Structure 1
Amino acid sequence: MKEYIGAYFQGREQVNGFIEDSVLNFGALSALEKENFASLFQIFKSLELVYVVDADTSIQSSPNIYPNRIDDTAKDISRSYLLDRLEIKENGFAFTAPYKSGATQTLCITVSKKEDGKIIFMDFDLKRLLERLKLIERHATFDSVQLSFYLFTGAFMGIIALAAVLYSLFDFAGNVMALNLDIHTIFKPIIAATLGLAIFDLSKTVLEQEVFYKSYVKNSKDEVKLLTKFLFTILIALAIETLMVVFKIAMKEDGEMINALYLMGGIALIILSLAVFIYLTQRKSC
């Protein structure tokens, strides 16, 4: 869903201007409260929730009003946490960044307008709003396939990560119970657990950003952090594997010293590449 966020921020002035101009055409929104804002829902097909909060007490004075139903359970609840974060402009409007609505479970923005001691909150479905303004073209079938693929892939990687960790646990426990402890039986579970951790981090990131939308705004720093963390985990696994090879050679189980040299060279090359990557990204962000 990051494409919707990007489209919103690119066309934010157009979106906000459209909403402000349209709402101002209604005059006082508080006058529409008697009809449960039916006229507002009729004009804005992307509007999915309206409620009113007292500006002085921060208490919600109206129920949650949806296009086809009314929920009274939210009435008389304190909304001070919302008012504390509002940056109301001179014309009385305030806009939030995109977020996932707890009431409707959709990606939305909240627009608020202050009128005569009241603040009217309006939640707009971001996708439908962007479609209305021709800022995006939605392909529902493709979106569903893409979401399902990310969900399946992320969950599958999570299962593989869990299997790797369980394998390392049972393998080590079995060797301990059999009193079969040596360099190989100690380091092998560590490598499996380390790879399981790296795969889990990748799975978690895919599910958070593409399925559950924990982070909506695309941040290149988070992507750099993920890649760096993943490479560090792989480096640890490779370093452990190199130690195993060296120990085998020292115990004369393997006479091919060149294998250890290849691994050391590969690790050194990855470390050098990672150092250059971190330096360039930090320099770019400065």
Structure 2
Amino acid sequence: MARMSYISSVERYQEYQTVIHDLLDSVLASLEDGVKKQQDNRYLIAQYPFLELQYCLDKNGVQLGNNVCFKRQYMKTLNNRGDSQDLSERPYFQGIQQQQHTRFTPPYISIATNHLCISAIKSLHASYGENRYLVIDVCLTQLIEFIMGDRTRATMTPFFKAGYGIIVSCLFILVLFLLGRVFGDIYSLLFVRSIENDPLEPFTIIIFITLALAIFDLGKTILEEEILMHKDIFRHSSTRRTITRFISTILIAVSIEALLTMFKAALGQSQYLLPAIYMMLAVVGLLIALAIYVYLGAKAETLLLSAQRNKKGH
């Protein structure tokens, strides 16, 4: 599955904003201690993999020294840069001048890394005799994965994608095989033998087409749900969406097969009548069960979100 989308990241940030701010306060305290002792704080990346940049500002909002970049892939472009740039117009700097406690920006797209991030700024004036400020930029997606205990699963994502990719490839190969059989039968029907020899031959071709459609739809669902899209395993709606799509694929396939079986019965093969009726009843049962599942799942999630909002309000 893909990494967390920006909308999901912002929603999680709003949900856990207090926890995130407390965590960043503790990180700033650790970094501030390193600034006082002139220590290199890059070892913190092992503990806090969401850190991206660290830098200091003077009382006028001018950067003191170069950036300290925590991300290896950005060190060449961001390290040893930034000295003396004027950041006085940044909202977080203007806010920290008005209120001396730690300030946090809303989520924004970083110009430096093109990631969704937030910045935190803390005053260091007590240590230096004049106002100086310590600023850190953090990757919001990795920060949320960190606080939710989702780091290990996130690191395994490429392996999951590879496994699902192999499965999807096998399904698509099977679709190509079925389509090859379909084209061969159509050619044979049109140019080799007459339909009068076997009036049910077109229905056999339709069955192969239906199987190819169902398998293709199944492969597409796996590709979208498990490789291309982000699935938030902590939300019931993601699981409900996946199950709904899989059941819908099965419903379409069974419905078409039931219709074809009914046609066979109408053409004189009465032994197919009861199986067709049973399949139609199975389709109706699946539809009712799916409707109940979707309704109850949505209602349960609404109650859960309402309870969380009420808890925050208190």
How high is the TM-score relative to the length of structure 1? 0.62
Aligned to 1:40: 41
Residue of structure 1 aligned with 2:291, choices 228, 251, 275: 275
Whichever residue aligns with residue 122 of structure 1, its letter is D
Whichever residue aligns with residue 195 of structure 1, its letter is I
- Provide the rounded CA distance (Å) in 2 between the counterparts of 1:160 and 1:177: 26
Unaligned runs of 5+ in 1: 77-82
Q: 1:123–1:22: structure 2 CA closer, same or farther, 3 Å change rule?
A: closer
Structure label with greater radius of gyration: 2
Aligned to 2:198: none
- Provide the rounded CA distance (Å) in 1 between the counterparts of 2:160 and 2:271: 45
Q: Does 1:17 align with 2:32?
A: no
Q: Does 1:66 align with 2:70?
A: yes
Residue of structure 2 aligned with 1:171, choices 178, 181, 196: 181
Aligned to 1:202: 222
Aligned to 2:279: 263
Deviates more, 1:17-26 or 1:258-267: 17-26
Unaligned runs of 5+ in 2: 83-89, 124-130, 191-200, 304-314
- Deviation string, structure 1 residues 127-154 (Cα, Å, up to 9, x no partner): 9966xxxx9699x7x998x657634541
Q: 1:121–1:179: structure 2 CA closer, same or farther, 3 Å change rule?
A: farther
Q: Does 1:49 align with 2:52?
A: yes
How high is the TM-score relative to the length of structure 2? 0.58
SS in 2 for 1:121: strand
Aligned to 1:121: 136
- Deviation string, structure 1 residues 28-60 (Cα, Å, up to 9, x no partner): 99x79xx9x853325564355315599x99xxx
Q: Does 1:193 align with 2:213?
A: yes
- Provide the rounded CA distance (Å) in 2 between the counterparts of 1:174 and 1:16: 64
Whichever residue aligns with residue 206 of structure 1, its letter is E
Q: Does 1:112 align with 2:112?
A: no
* Number of equivalent positions: 251
Whichever residue aligns with residue 121 of structure 1, its letter is I
Whichever residue aligns with residue 113 of structure 1, its letter is I
How far off its partner does 1:96 sit? 7.3
Q: 1:247–1:51: structure 2 CA closer, same or farther, 3 Å change rule?
A: same
Identity, in percent, stands at 13
User: When you count helix as a share of all residues, which structure comes out higher?
Assistant: 2
Whichever residue aligns with residue 76 of structure 2, its letter is D
